[in-house]
Structure 1
Amino acid sequence: MVKDMSEMSDKRAEAVDAVLARLDLPAKVALLGGADMWSVGPVPSAGFGRLVLSDGPAGVRGEDWTPEDPSVALPSPTALGATWDPEAARLAGLLLAQEARRKGAHVVLAPTVNLHRTPYGGRHFEAYAEDPVLTGVLGAALVTGVQEGGVGTTPKHYVANDSETDRYTVDVHADSRTLRELYLAPFERMVRTARPWGLMAAYNSVDGTTMSEHDVLNNGVLRGEWGFDGVLVSDWTGARDTVRCALGGLDLAMPGPHTVYGEHLVAAVREGRVPEETVDALARRVLLLAARAGVLEGAPPAVAPGDLPAPLDGEETARALAARSFVLLRNERNALPLGGDAARPLRRIAVAGLPAAHPRFGGGGSAQVFPPHVSTVLDGLRAAVPEDVTVTYEPGPDPRSRLAPAADGFALTATLFGLDDAELARAAQADGSVRWMGALPGGVAFGDLGRVELTGEFTPDEDGAHRLAVRGVGHFRLEAGDRLLFDGELHPDSEDPAAAFLNPPQRVFTLDAHAGHAVPVRLVHSVNGKEAGPLFGLISFELGHGAPVVPDDELIERAVRDAADADVALVVVGTTDESESEGVDRDTLALPGRQDELVARVAAANPDTVVVVNAGAPVLMPWRERVAAVLLAWFPGQAGGSALADVLLGAAEPGGRLPTTWPAAETDVPVRQVVPDGDGQLPYAEGPYIGYRAWARAGSEPAYWFGHGLGYTEWAYEALDVRVPSGTAEGPYDSVAEAVVRVRNTGGRPGREVVQLYLGPEGAERSLAAFAVAEADAGDAVEVRLAVPLRAVQRWDATGECWRTESGPHPLSVGRSATDLRLSAELTIPD
């Protein structure tokens, strides 16, 4: 029998206090900094085991960042946002917890709940939505799922880390209403409703103070107002000042072992610059995290081993979540599902576009993991179509400006050599990407490393001028066969260390090779180990490969000819790792390369053209009115191809709705600034009007509004009844009213609808208040109950620095998107 939760909490608190009481100052301080890249401790004198943290927004990497240690890759957070389904988010959380336990991690650095302030934000794909309600509800559900699995979470990046340019130093300036109603709102909801065990402080400053030192927002708002009792951890290398971080409430400085705490904090306490009571408070919270995670002796974990959830199948879960996230933006003449019209028999599908065979399953940076395999659109379709249906493929022009890691035809091994040229270790390579962070193969110390050699053979499958690339920062020597192709330095394009790591420069060289004839290859990266690892250790470089070049015009013509003779043309387009990645913002929303031209030419040749968009953030689609259907697939995770086949062929319905507004033209985007001014400040001059509210305020018409999405059936909104309870709501997320909505599936197959409730008059003041998923068989009606929380009828009073409840009347509207609203009513809150 599971013990009463309050009893277990009391026992944990007692154990934490008992440990803290017997620790001296250095031992307490030892709890407050990382031991290495991903772990804290152990501290034997405290009974504190090794506590491991791991990146985890879309999959849990563990302590190794390498293809040789694969992880389940879930759909990107924008895809999860598109489900509009808390249960889907909770399911993703349960799988993340399961993966964390398998990888030996106790805390995942997730979810990312910054907002889609503007589509130019480079890390857009890693956050859920442009709306704080949708973001907060889904974030809380994911936190709940992860922590039900006995693993901690750290919602991030607290707060206003909504763009990447100069993210280490940018100073965001926002008024208090904007902060409270938008950017703090998701964090508040999660803290109050899901009780995360941790939170991550952002790199950026807010109104002049960096978030790792922000006493007002950390100690005042987060802990004082919201009651947060978890650990506030720095973003990696984000802790910069010993005294200001300690007084500002930063519990854990990562990574280690060299941090602003340690001996520096001990000295600050002994010199009277930091009270020891402050250190006690920081240490108590770190001990509580260890207790909850089960690595503190004598303290019961938050979830006992016997109470863990039933295991999930990672592949099946990833596939189901992906299908539920796909958004059908357009579907003329019922083009989808394929083969659904008996009058138009399906015999041949012409597929075009490089992402059909080489999809982006996830975004770059902290969200990146290496899955055991990736299902492509081609894989999925060819496995799912009947035997009498032919699937052909033409890649079209390559939209990438950088070559992919060497894979097909390559057999590679990485060998580590010491400063004395002695071999230290070897590691088999799945491809040409060499990436080690925090630890090296074979336990080699970074200080002992002199160079890394990537060696092996390349056996091409076609004759011609192949391309080999070196990508990285530092000194490299590339040999192929008996030729020296490069011996020199590559320098970073940016001062941002993350950009140098995630988007390093590339040099490309030509190699004439013959099909079936093996060519020895050797790429040497010289390393000064002492320079490679002063903070946490990092080796990252790539050997890239590209097949012999075929002119883009010819590739487009091949795709057009193939499409013209097919029953259906399917074009898959998307962004690249240069255009969507952590560490860099976007400078255009256009699809890279000649993908727009490919779609337009194919659509002109075949009126039954379906376009699948493989992107984590909005892109421009100038051809959208000239194609039969547009299906948004986001970054769909490792099972994306199978899930797409399910949806394209009608085995599953595209269940997603847009979590952010998609523009028709860049000039229409109402919020665009991501670059700080000359003083390093980024003003949020738009105030609380971002996303659909900004579009309404500007009077512009986007391509597709927030909340939009079609299915394979139709829905009628039949009734809306608003009920006000007799009691008084105490907390901000207690209900002040319930909206009961009856919807009917008027189509010919079972379906899924997202019922959206908006509060406020038409225009920029109307905002999402609640939402829920409805499912019904053909012809059936279902009632959906939507709780309107107190916070929905409150506004932040900047003068009084408090929330004020507005008595109303409040217009309520329900429907299918921010502008497709079917029923209305009024809600009056008593004075």
Structure 2
Amino acid sequence: MIDSILDQMTLEEQVSLLSGADFWTTVPVERLGVPKIKVTDGPNGARGAGSLVAGVKATCFPVGIALGATWNPELVSQMGKALARQAKSKGAAVLLAPTVNIHRSGLNGRNFECYSEDPMLTAELAVAYIGGVQGEGIAATIKHFAGNESEIERQTMSSDIDERSLREIYLPPFEQAVRRAGVMAVMSSYNRLNGTYTSEHHWLLTKVLREEWGFQGIVMSDWFGSHSTEETINAGLDLEMPGPARDRGEKLVAAVHEGKVEAATVRAAARRMLLLLERVGAFESKPDLTERAVDLPEDRALIRRLGAEGAVLLRNDGILPLAKTSLDRIAVIGPNAASARLMGGGSAQIAAHYTVSPLEGIRAALANANSISHAAGCRHNRLIDVFKGKITVEYFKGRGCKGNPLHVETVDKGEFFWFELPSGELDPADFSARMTMQFVPEESGDHVFGMTNAGLARLFVDSALTVDGHEGWTRGENYFGTANDEQRGTVALEAGRAYAVTVEYEPSTASGEGINLIAVRFGVEKPLGEADIEAAVETARNADLALLFVGRDGEWDTEGLDLPDMRLPGRQEELIERVAAANANTVVVLQTGGPVEMPWLGKVRAVLQIWYPGQELGNAVADVLFGDVEPGGRLPQTFPKALTDNSAITGDPAVYPGKDGHVRYAEGVFVGYRHHDTHAVEPLFPFGFGLGYTRFSWAEPRLSTGEMGSEGITVSVDLTNIGDRAGSELVQLYVRSPETKVERPDKELRAFAKLSLQPGETGTAVLKILPRDLAYFDVETGAFRAEPGNYQLVVAANAADIRFVIDLSSPLTHVLPPSH
């Protein structure tokens, strides 16, 4: 059927398939019955075509690093199935996920969106995720291919990575997604790879992806991430997104006529687009693009389970789990206590069906909820708290908010990110909007108004210009680098008095390179100070237990910018120190998208890392704290003692964050635990670390054979739960190699198994490795090479907790080409 359609297509019609129609849909060819399909973000929820911050509600699942912490491919596959159902509820046939870039440093703004610092763990979870999604008839899109391990100058930066490091660290998750999961789509990254944009990288997209790995699906650009016509199509980029066409369309037709692009190249790309439509069933029944909010009880239960399964207990002197009946007075403190920090920022954001804050979850878990006291103590927000309340929005043709509004609507949040305007008569390049609202402060005193805008905006309080986002506007770090840095103004306000707040917005008249968006965000808050920290300390002093919820949020852990350091922002470290000094029973619950330094670690009784676990946040954390379930998570990323212990943080800006448009991956394959183990850099918490509420005994491992052959080796380890609670244990299998002509890490993860056992129950972890698991990538021969010699199999609970070391002989040289 596909070839028949192609034979009937004109060149122009074939070309039309190779660009989006708009932000989220492909171009149909109605005369030949070729429908359009919709794509949707993202990794932790199917948003649909709505705004990043509004639109139809969607189910919010845990973020990538929280899934990485589960070490549970089966559970991740279940989430993939649920996400496919959510994608269908938004009328989408393609899910733009998963994100599998490697945790090179602790500072990447999208660290939260990715699974791990280890390619093997990342690959296993990605394969499971993709299998779950595609098993339900929705195409998955693995991203970002490749070398997007930082958000700094990401649209132009060249990630300079040697081929061995690419083959061993950064490409395996993509390779396994193609070979084992049959992923239907790959998204190229924004950055350049060794000087060439990945969207134009023939070696990456054609030689490696298609010829070596046998990829049969489509390659699409990241949004606004393609920059040319013949270079992209000749390199192997099929779909330019978003639409309408910028570098395709008439330009591509002309390139064919001029001989710069072969007609057969266009036909092959169009064929792959049609094959995608066929694989997602678009020809069988016309896609219904209607968007619906579907909130299923089974999804709620799965999210709650995933939240606990990914929660990592980092420290516990015996205080956890908490006994519900013996706690009379609990202080719930911190900037993340009463606020539900569900997800990171950027394109992964969705409008969740509901939120459950830790404070709400704890109150729901305890019958004697009146014994719970709360104090924020301090703030950690990067941006002023967004305005919440009734906002009337008037849309006008042209600039300056003149004449009668063309459309009027009411919203409840002061953040607007327009993919589509509410009326087709409005021109995204030539409209204006006026937002009016009332603000009634609860307390008297100075209040700070803040605004950031991609476009031009002014904020007035009682007609007085308070924040100017118009004069002197320049690009900053917000909204993927398309908006200015937040501008602020301070006004003294009286409690109980209503103030008229007005924001006037219009798009910028300047055209910039790369992404151009229309967005505005504004808010107001009364700053917290010393009195608020003192109030939190006093609250803790008068309680039997202090639960301290600290960390970051989606303003810090976000697409578009990297973190400034690895410390808790604001006065949170001081808050922890002072609360712990006031109450000896202090438990810290962390929400971050990666590692943080912990100078206060020895002063608290327990530390629980819960990441951003989705809409059941408060319930999941209460489940773990009170022992209804155990903390099942293990770290998917090493937590260094200090930022400078990370292999990417050398003090040389050319290595990180980049210099003169290049960032050099000078550490090579020594990423994460590979660096710490090989160079004896002691971490704060090692890769794979996590405590539980029970104990396990490990029996001696059994090998299927002591000599590596072509069929591989199986290692079996019996575990017994010798505690009095159900729990899980992680078994990791590393390979330690003999000396070779290249330097290799001390050990490398090659297999893992996670067992959940009842008290007294025994189970068997079965781990298999193949000849390639002994290999390194030999650049000279262009193949994976395992030298003959004596290897060691390291059986461990985590990278620093080695239980057994087994000698293994490999008498033959194994040479495995990438196409193997």
Q: Structures share a fold, TM > 0.5? A: yes
Is contact 1:287-1:296 (8 Å) kept?
no
Aligned to 2:799: 818
1:432 is the counterpart of 2:414: yes
Matches within 5 A, 1:131-142: 131-142=118-129
Residue in structure 2 matching 1:521, options 491, 498, 501: 501
The offset of 1:143, in angstroms, is 0.6
Q: Secondary structure at the match of 1:791?
A: helix
- Measured after TM superposition, the shift of residue 739 of structure 1 is 1.1
Q: How does 1:318-333 map to 2 (within 5 A)?
A: 318-332=303-317
Offset at 1:678?
4.2
Q: Does 1:754 align with 2:730?
A: yes
- Alignment of 1:45 onto 2:21: no
Q: Which residue of 2 aligns with 1:337?
A: 321
Partner of 1:475: 456
Measured after TM superposition, the shift of residue 827 of structure 1 is 3.1
Which residue of 689, 694, 699 maps to 1:718?
A: 699
Structure 1 counterpart of 2:238: 251
2: CA distance between counterparts of 1:127 and 1:160? 13
Matched, 1:737 2:737: no
Superposed CA offset, 1:206-231 (max 9, x none): 12221111111111110001110000
CA distance in 2, matches of 1:104, 1:830: 55
Distance 2:468 2:483 in 1: 22
Partner residue of 1:373?
A: 354
Q: 1:324 is matched by which residue type in structure 2?
A: E
Of 54, 58, 66, which aligns to 2:40? Answer: 54
- Give 1:404 shift: 1.4
CA distance in 2, matches of 1:312, 1:397: 35
Greater shift after overlay, 568-577 or 80-89? Answer: 568-577
SS, match of residue 518 in structure 2: strand
Instruction: Identify the residue that residue 108 of structure 1 maps to in structure 2.
Output: 95
Kept after mapping to 2: 8 A contact 1:166/1:676:
no
**Match of residue 76 from structure 1:** 63
Which position in structure 2 is the counterpart of 1:765?
A: 746
Q: How far has the Cα of 1:492 moved from its partner?
A: 5.8
- From 659, 665, 671, give the equivalent of 1:684: 665
Inter-CA distance 474–207: structure 2 relative to 1 (3 Å threshold): closer
Equivalence map 1:167-316=2 (5 Å)? 167-296=154-283, 313-316=298-301
CA distance, structure 2, for counterparts of residue 323 and residue 586 of structure 1: 26
8 Å CA contact 1:67, 1:371 repeated in 2: no
- Residues 73, 503 of structure 1: CA spacing in aligned structure 2 closer, same or farther, 3 A cutoff? farther
Shift of 1:604: 1.4
**What is the SS of the residue equivalent to 2:749?**
strand
Kindly report which structure 2 residues correspond to 1:381-392, keeping only aligned pairs within 5 A, or say none. Answer: 381-387=362-368, 390-392=371-373
Q: Secondary structure at the match of 1:828?
A: strand
After superposition, the C-alpha distances for 1:490-538 in whole angstroms (9 at most, x for unaligned) are 65664778533477422233251332x433322111336x868999973
Question: Could you tell me the TM-score, scaled by structure 1's length?
Answer: 0.91
Aligned residues of 2:545 and 2:583 also touching (Cα < 8 A): yes
SS at structure 2 position matched to 1:685: coil
The reply on whether 1:573 has 2:550 as its aligned counterpart is: yes
Helix, strand or coil for the counterpart of 1:782?
strand
Conserved 8 A contact 1:348-1:567: yes
- Letter in structure 2 aligned against 1:580: D
Question: Does the aligned pair in 2 maintain the 1:192–1:227 contact within 8 Å?
Answer: yes
| Residue pair 1:48, 1:297 contacting (<8 A) in 2 also | no
SS in 2 for 1:229: coil
Give the structure 1 partner of residue 386 of structure 2: 405
Structure 2 SS opposite 1:508: strand
* Separation in structure 1 between the aligned mates of residue 50 and residue 404 of structure 2, nearest angstrom: 24
Measured in 2, the distance between the counterparts of 1:497 and 1:611 equals 30
Equivalent residue in structure 1 for 2:74, among 76, 84, 87: 87
Please report how far the alpha carbon of residue 804 of structure 1 lies from its aligned counterpart in structure 2 after TM superposition: 1.9
Identity over the aligned pairs, expressed in percent?
39
Partner Cα distance (2:181, 2:188) in 1: 18
The worse-fitting range, judged by mean Cα deviation, of 282-291 and 783-792 is: 783-792
2:559 to 561, 582, 585: 582
Distance 1:297 1:536 in 2: 35
- In the alignment, which of 516, 520, 523 is matched to residue 541 of structure 1? 520
Inter-CA distance 427–698: structure 2 relative to 1 (3 Å threshold): farther
* 2:683 match: 702
Of stretches 250-259 and 482-491 in structure 1, the one that deviates more from structure 2 is 482-491
CA distance in structure 1 between the aligned counterparts of 2:706 and 2:801, rounded to whole angstroms: 28
Contact 2:446 2:490 in 1 (8 A): no
Query: How many residue pairs align between the two structures?
Result: 793
Aligned-pair distance for 1:405? 0.9
Comparing 452-461 and 593-602, the one that deviates more = 452-461
Cα deviation 1:132-164 (Å, max 9, x = unaligned): 000011011111111112111110010111111
Q: Contact 1:54–1:105 at 8 Å: present in 2 too?
A: yes
Q: Aligned partner of 1:337: which letter?
A: P
Provide the residue aligned with 2:593 in structure 1.
616
Flag the 1:726–1:286 CA change in 2: closer, same or farther, 3 A: farther
Which segment is superposed worse, 479-488 or 141-150?
Answer: 479-488
2:478·2:484 contact (CA, 8 Å) conserved in 1? no
Confirm or deny: 8 A CA contact 1:359 1:614 kept in the other structure. Answer: no
Cα 1:805/1:488, change in 2 over 3 Å: closer
Change beyond 3 A, Cα 1:291–1:445: farther
Q: 1:360 aligns with which of 335, 341, 345?
A: 341
| Deviations 1:411-434, CA, capped at 9 Å, x for gaps | 112221112633222333121111
Partner of 1:653: 630
Shift in alpha-carbon separation, 1:610–1:749, aligned structure 2, 3 A: same
Which residue number in structure 1 is paired with residue 290 of structure 2?
Answer: none
Q: Secondary structure of the residue that 2:701 maps to in structure 1?
A: strand
Query: Structure 1 819/36 Cα, relative in aligned 2: closer, same or farther at 3 Å?
Result: same
1:640 aligned partner, one-letter code: L
**Match of 2:450, as an amino acid?**
A
State the AA in 2 paired with 1:414: V
Q: Which amino acid aligns with 2:730?
A: V
What residue ranges of structure 1 are gaps of 5+ in the alignment? 1-14, 302-309, 730-734
Alpha-carbon offset, residue 819 of structure 1: 1.3
Change (3 A) 1:666 1:477: closer
Q: Structure 1 residues 287 and 388 mapped into 2: Cα distance closer, same or farther (>3 Å)?
A: closer
CA–CA distance in structure 2, aligned partners of residues 495 and 400 of structure 1: 17
**CA displacement 1:245-302 (0-9 Å, x = unmatched):** 1110000011111321111111111111111111111111111111112223699x9x
Q: Residue 29 of structure 1 corresponds to which residue in structure 2?
A: 15
Tell me the SS of whatever aligns to 1:787: strand
Contact between 2:110 and 2:557, CA under 8 Å: does it hold in 1?
yes
1:593-624 residue CA offsets vs partner (Å, 9 max, x unmatched)? 11001101111121211000110111111111
Q: 1:675 Cα deviation (Å)?
A: 4.1
Question: Closer, same or farther in 2 for the Cα pair 1:802/1:447, shift >3 Å?
Answer: same
Q: For structure 1, which segment, 765-774 or 191-200, has the greater mean C-alpha deviation from structure 2 after superposition? A: 765-774
1:423 paired with 2:405, answer yes
